[in-house]
Amino acid sequence: MYDFISINVKCPHCNKLLMDSERLVDHKPGIRLTIENAKKKGTIVLSSIYGSYNYLCDIELTVGETVKLFCPHCKKEISDQTKCNLCNAPMVSFLMDIGGIVNICSRIGCKNHFVEIVDLSSALKKLDKEHKIIEFPNRRGTIAPSEDGEKIDEINEMHETIKTGAFLRAYCPHCKKTLVEGNILKLRIVKENNESGFLMLNPYLNVYTSKSTILLPEGKSIGDMKCFHCDASLMVKDKSCEKCGSPTAKISISVLTRMIDFYICSKKGCRWHGLNDNDINNIELEDRENW
């Protein structure tokens, strides 16, 4: 149920929110901090999606180095006395606005993190309120009558609108196996440097949250996107993103008792998606202009 939790955190010293609504990471406001390594200081914006390791940073970071993080408001260092149980680096602790503490490791590349919640019942109620997703039923068009009361043949075809919040039943166009695992739309990704991992997308239409098992820089094409079952590439050679021009990937979704092609942009942060020319006359994606 909570595959894409966006956590709002506060400074443990001044109690001010660290969220930056203008700097989005994984399509959500990021956690803005001042960062310092052995060479210089800068600004880092961490993903607020729990379990995501993506970030934006204006200084170069090296995997394996430890860093210091500071509150941008009170300028105090945010740290914890505990050590990471994976790499022994200092942990960094933030206060959550729902109550409790979220801890992350200060070593670049270490994926250790955990949450401490005192009042679990209260925290879960707040999460339910903030992250509840309603699946809307698909809206079908109606057949308009002519002036003499007879139905017009030209619009005798049902018109489907896939509404915002609708669950996308996604499948691989090659092996036909489902790409939905639990409550996520899962894809295998391979970056240009051959680093591979998994991209987890929210399977509800127009809900843009995502996370990945490897770092995906905002504003750059991911690389190859594949089916995690048959490992076939989902990239399309003759279809580009209509918003940013980046390469697109094609999956299949189940609509009107049949499968249709559904295109997504491969550029991290781009919200564009679309249908093929044959389906776009009969199927409408609600709020598509916002992607």
136-191 pLDDT, tens digit each: 333 333 323 333 444 333 333 445 678 888 888 899 999 999 999 988 999 999 99
154 with 90, same domain: the answer is: no
Is position 171 within any domain? Answer: yes
Residues 60 and 164 occupy one common structural domain: no
> Is the domain of 64 the same as that of 145?
no
75 and 154: one domain?
Answer: no
Domain count, the chain: 2
Q: Which of 71, 89, 120 is the last residue of a domain?
A: 120
Taking only the tens place, the pLDDT of each residue in 53-108 is 889 999 999 999 999 999 999 999 999 888 999 999 999 999 988 788 889 999 99
Do 268 and 177 share a domain, yes or no?
yes
Name the pLDDT band for 209 (thresholds 50, 70, 90): confident
Residues 189 and 245 in one domain: yes
Same domain, 184 and 281: yes
pLDDT band of residue 224 (cuts 50, 70, 90) is very high
- Taking the C-alpha atoms of residue 210 and residue 215, their distance in angstroms, rounded to an integer, is 12
Is residue 4 in a domain?
Answer: no
Q: Which residue has the tokens 């590349």?
A: 109
Q: Which is it for the CA torsion 162, 166, 169, 174, positive or negative?
A: positive
Share of the chain above pLDDT 70, in %: 80
Same domain, 165 and 85: no
- Looking at the domain assignment, is residue 60 inside a domain? yes
Contacts of 275 (CB under 8 A, 6+ apart): 260, 261, 262, 263, 283, 285
Which of residues 124 and 83 earns the better pLDDT score?
83
56/155 same-domain check:
no
22 in the same domain as 115: yes
Q: Is residue 99 part of a domain?
A: yes
Answering whether pTM is above 0.75, one says: no
Q: Residue 134: inside a domain, yes or no? A: no
**Side chain identity at 195, as an amino acid letter?**
E
Is there a domain that residue 180 lies in? yes
Closest CA to 159 of 282, 263, 44: 282
Is 80 exceeded by the pLDDT of residue 258? no
Which domain range does residue 235 map to?
139-290
If asked whether residues 149 and 285 sit together in one domain, one would say: yes
Q: Is 266 found in the same domain as 150?
A: yes
